[in-house]
Structure formats: C-alpha cells, structure tokens
Amino acid sequence: MIALALSFAAALGFLGAGFFVDTAFGRSRVFHHLSVVIAAGILLGVAFADLLPESFDALDTTYAALWIGVGFLALFLVEALMRAHTHHHEPHAHAHSHANAHAHSHAPVDEDGCVPAHAILPFLIGLALHNFTDGLVIGTSYEVSDSASTAVAAGILIHQIPVGLSFAAVLIASNVPHRRMRRNAALIGGMIVLGTLVVLAIPDLSDTTLGALTALSAGAVLYIAGGHLLPEAQSEYRHPGVAAAFVIALLGTIAFVGLFSDEHSHGADDDADHAAHADHASHDD
C-alpha cells in the first residue's frame, strides 16, 4: 500500500504541474509561441539527466543503445502512420469546413497550432511509456525497503514536475480543448500507478527488464523532443526568445532533476546496501 500511495503522489505531481501551466499561462500568446521549445528543452533535460544515465547503468552499453534506438524508431513509425492517416483525411475535412462555416473542426489541432495533429499521439505514447516506467521503479524500490521506496518516489515526484510542464505546454500549443487535455493528463498520470500495480502483481521483475523499459522511454523522449518538437519550433517561430527559452529550459531541467535525483538515489542505494548486509548477516547466523 505504501508503494501505491507513493505512485499516486508522483501522479499528482505530474497533474499539478500541468494544471498550473494551463491555468497560469494557457491564455498567454507569448507562452503559446514559446511553449513548444520550452517543452523540448524540458524533455531533453529529463532524458540527459535521468533516463539515459539510468539506461546505461542498468544495461550493457550495446543493449542500452539498442533499446534507445528501438524506442526512437517506434515513435518515428507511429508518427509516420499518423501523418499518413491525417493527410488521407485532409481533403474531406477541408471540403466540410467550406460546406459549413459554423461547423466544428474534426482535426485535433486548428490552423494556428504549432504541433500538427499527427504528432500528438506519439507525444502522448512517449510520456505514457515514461510514466509507466517510473511506476515500475517505485514498485521495485519498495521491494528493497520502505525508506528506499520513499526516497525513489520523492525523486520521481520531483522530475514529474517538468514532465507535467512539458505535457501542458505541448497541448496548449496544439490548441487541444481543456476537457481533452484533462482526460489525457489523467490517463498519462495514471500510468505511474499502473506501473506500480504491475510490479506488485509480478514482484520478480528483473533489473534488465526495467533497464530496457527505461531505455525505450529514453529513445521515445529523445525522438519527441529532439526529432520533432525542437525542429518544429525552430521552423514555425522566429521569436527572439526561442533560443533563450530552450537553453534555460534545458539547463534548468538538467540542474533541477540532476540535483534531486543524485540526492535521492544515494539515499536509496544506502538503504539497498543496508538491506543486503542484513540479509547476509541473517544467512551467516
């Protein structure tokens, strides 16, 4: 129950950050223009400071690189399929809009949105995979000790804040309706809880499996941020603050996530060492 409560807390961190951005900046045109590049900086910061180091710690270099590549390629293929589907339906949507000027658009993003419709699903899939992996981490750390689980969950809660910020920033830039944004936020935040439930149901999840999932999510996040959001922002906007916003978001996230993840990971490692020594002593007795 402790692990489940901690995963709910991490999910609330994600939801709270997204709600804050939507409430405070959702109506700002300046933020609308800068939100995509800010999201790219935040997600790349999370990848560089957290996901990539964790992947290479858990797996051999070759396997880590392989799973990162698989995650990157999987999101590329998903977006390619969505792009083809969107383009296939564009003529019908265009004709429909001329036939009835007062009809609602069926496209998830209107003509002012920076992020095209075909990019939204890969973005949501990538964040869902990332949050699911975070839930697995909380569950597996609970197997070590309660204090280890608390320390790890605190670190995940901290880095869920920038993830929630990036989620809201991209959906605001895409002009996604508030109701749909809240529904997607609940689903993606709930993936943390789902990951923890999976570990509680299957307690023998190996470190290799967890490392592979972390590497997969790293590749997905790298594709979302570096392969799509950043080029999209650079091509769409010539706002003088774009470069500065990206640098601040990237370096700020690396410092923020890196500082807290180091602190909490050391605490979790100490708890794991104590648990291992206690187990060894019991066998000696």
User: With 90 as the cut, is the pLDDT of residue 224 above it?
Assistant: no
Provide, rounded to the nearest whole percent, the portion of the chain with pLDDT above 70: 72
111 vs 42, more confident = 42
User: With 60 as the cut, is the pLDDT of residue 285 above it?
Assistant: no
Q: Locate tokens 């496209």: which residue?
A: 107
List C-alpha distances in Å: 247 to 42, 108, 172, 174.
10, 29, 21, 22
Mean pLDDT in residue range 262-270? 50
pLDDT value of residue 266: 45
pLDDT value of residue 103: 34
Mean pLDDT in residue range 116-141? 84
Task: Give tens-digit pLDDT for 18-71.
Answer: 888 888 776 666 676 678 888 889 899 989 988 899 899 999 999 999 999 999
Q: Locate tokens 């998903």: which residue?
A: 78
Amino acid identity, position 89: H
Mean pLDDT in residue range 231-255? 81
Instruction: Determine which of 112-126, 225-239, 268-282 has the lowest per-residue pLDDT on average.
Output: 268-282
Task: Give tens-digit pLDDT for 77-110.
Answer: 887 887 775 555 444 444 444 334 333 333 333 4
pLDDT value of residue 267: 47
* Band of pLDDT at residue 207, cut at 50, 70 and 90: confident
pLDDT value of residue 186: 94
* Band of pLDDT at residue 226, cut at 50, 70 and 90: confident
Q: What is the C-alpha separation between 170 and 166, in angstroms, rounded? A: 6
Please check whether residue 17 is in contact with residue 162, taking contact to mean a CB–CB distance below 8 angstroms: yes
User: With 70 as the cut, is the pLDDT of residue 252 above it?
Assistant: yes
Instruction: Determine which of 92-101, 193-202, 276-285 has the lowest per-residue pLDDT on average.
Output: 92-101
pLDDT value of residue 16: 93
Residue ranges per structural domain of the chain: 2-88+108-273
Please check whether residue 159 is in contact with residue 50, taking contact to mean a CB–CB distance below 8 angstroms: yes
pLDDT value of residue 94: 43
User: With 70 as the cut, is the pLDDT of residue 134 above it?
Assistant: yes
pLDDT value of residue 189: 95
231 vs 262, more confident = 231
